[in-house]
Amino acid sequence: MPPKGWRKGQTAGPRQTLVLDNGAYTIKAGLVTTGPSSKPTYDDCHISPNCIARSTRDKRTYISSDLDECRDFGELAFRRPVEKGFIVNWESEKAIWEHEFMNEGKGGLRCDPKETNLLLTEKPNCPKELQKNCDEIVFEQFEFASYYRSVGATFNAWHPSSLLSLPQECLLIIDTSYSDTTILPIYFGQLLQTAVRRLTVGGKLLTNYLKELSSLRHYNMMEETYLLNEIKEAVSFVAPSSEQFAKDLERTWKGRVGDKRTLDPSIVVDYVLPDYEQSIHGYARPHDPEKYRMRRGLQPQQGPREDLLPLGNERFAVPELLFSPTDIGLQEAGIPEAVMQSLSVLPETLRVGLLSNIVVVGGNSLIEGFMERLESELRVLVPAEYAMSLRRGEDPIKHTWLGAARFASQPELLKQVLVSKAEYDENGSGWLGRKFAGEI
């Protein structure tokens, strides 16, 4: 059914835009109608995993949203087309896009590229060759009617959450996502390129770190990426300060020989691992030394058997990397220092404006205690006479998508930036790259 305000042939070119926030972990996508009355909401955004997974147990290969059907995540191997935030492997990305959006697949979002505009987001500092590959695939392989590619975070300036006139004048985005964490100062929807700062620490690194720690201390879980990601999301929290971090570390210490300590059950939890027969998801419960000891001895032949993964300092030491990457020897500053480094190259007036409008997006911001820690550490670093306002997008994962969708729903904005296939055919990919970089 055509949405409200839909009238055929009002403008040249298609009225429908595929807004695609192509993240390394999930694809955030939705079809947006361009028109003054079109008001896309979070409900228009579909999230699907951006991966191809292969299970050695049921010998099946799952493409993106097929994973919903998966019942056994044990030893599931993933192939991700996006590396460090950039689309690298087009063979698999094409398969995923076709499966999710094109007519051949069976997913929920269908469109015909020839009658659709594409609004694609990318990470900042993308190598030019990869951008060129992307442009060529979009026009030559998928043949979208017209296309615009831009750094995803800039669209947050069009997010309708604030009462300010859009685009927001000064906006500092802290995007803490799967691949990495980036600090992006944005002025009237335009990225201040020289002030972009990045931390290698992202959700992927945290999951891999937890995987490594659990494998070293308990079971070998190096192949259980899915499970460890689930555990990370369920139990991890950020300590409110580094002093509290030290206290928590004390409370989760087993003690030394001759001086055994009892673990504090308010922090240490036992994660009951799924067996993929009765249960496909595990759950956490407070640590119980009795049951834990039983785990190591014989379990009853009859009745429920359970495998426990005790989690103590892993719960807060893993997300602590976002604030202190040197803990694993990574020679980078934590998020608060990175924000200050980014601002240090900007004039003072912009600094004041940016600090008063900081928005955190990305999945890591959902970790318990993240915002509180970030606010308190940043407040210490920011000069006292500056006002600081820090908030998390109400849906940090879809925040960028909604901003981009609002951008795409406004015909006059979209018309300025879209490049049609005819223009591409005439001028080529080198020209297109320069155009999107703002050099033409």
Nearer to other proteins, 79 or 295 (CB): 79
Residue 298 binding other proteins, by CB under 8 A = no
Amino acid symbol at 240: P
* Interacting residues with other proteins between 408 and 427 (CB under 8 A): none
From the CB of 150, what's the least distance to other proteins, in Å? 12
* Interacting residues with other proteins between 354 and 393 (CB under 8 A): 355-357, 385-387, 389
- Judged by CB under 8 A, which of 212, 264, 275, 423 binds other proteins? 212
Secondary structure of 9-44 in the HEC alphabet? CCCCCCCEEEEEEECCCEEEEEEEECCCCCCCCHHH
3-state secondary structure of 158: helix
Nearer to other proteins, 207 or 400 (CB): 207
Residue 42 binding other proteins, by CB under 8 A = no
Instruction: Count interface residues toward other proteins (CB under 8 A).
Output: 109
From the CB of 27, what's the least distance to other proteins, in Å? 15
Residue 347 binding other proteins, by CB under 8 A = yes
CA 320, 321, 323, 327 dihedral sign is positive
Residue 254 binding other proteins, by CB under 8 A = yes
Nearer to other proteins, 15 or 197 (CB): 197
- Judged by CB under 8 A, which of 43, 68, 69, 104 binds other proteins? 104
- Judged by CB under 8 A, which of 200, 241, 244, 420 binds other proteins? 200
From the CB of 432, what's the least distance to other proteins, in Å? 13
End-to-end, the C-alpha distance of the chain in Å comes to: 39
Residue 433 binding other proteins, by CB under 8 A = no
Q: How far apart are CA 355 and CA 353, in angstroms?
A: 6
Residue spans of beta strands (DSSP E) within 153-306: 170-176, 181-187, 190-191, 197-199, 255-256, 259-260, 269-272, 283-286
- Of 250-258, 272-280, 291-299, 360-368, the window that binds other proteins (rule: CB under 8 A) is 250-258
Residue 91 binding other proteins, by CB under 8 A = yes
Cis amide leading into 300 (omega within 30): no
**Angle at 59 (CA atoms; ends 56, 60), nearest 5 degrees:** 115
* Interacting residues with other proteins between 134 and 153 (CB under 8 A): 136-137, 140-141, 143
Interacting residues of 216 by C-beta distance below 8 A, sequence separation 6+: none
- Judged by CB under 8 A, which of 348, 368, 372, 394 binds other proteins? 348
Q: How far is CA 246 from CA 253, 317, 376, in A?
A: 11, 10, 17
Nearer to other proteins, 18 or 195 (CB): 195
Q: Which helix (H) or strand (E) holds 91?
A: helix 90-101
Assess contact for 155 and 124: CB atoms under 8 A: no
Q: Are strands 146-151 and 419-420 parallel, antiparallel or unpaired?
A: antiparallel
CA 160, 165, 166, 171 dihedral sign is negative
- Of 41-49, 75-83, 264-272, 278-286, the window that binds other proteins (rule: CB under 8 A) is 75-83
- Judged by CB under 8 A, which of 199, 309, 413, 419 binds other proteins? 199
* Interacting residues with other proteins between 166 and 195 (CB under 8 A): 169-170, 179, 182-183, 187-188, 190, 192-195
- Judged by CB under 8 A, which of 204, 232, 398, 399 binds other proteins? 204
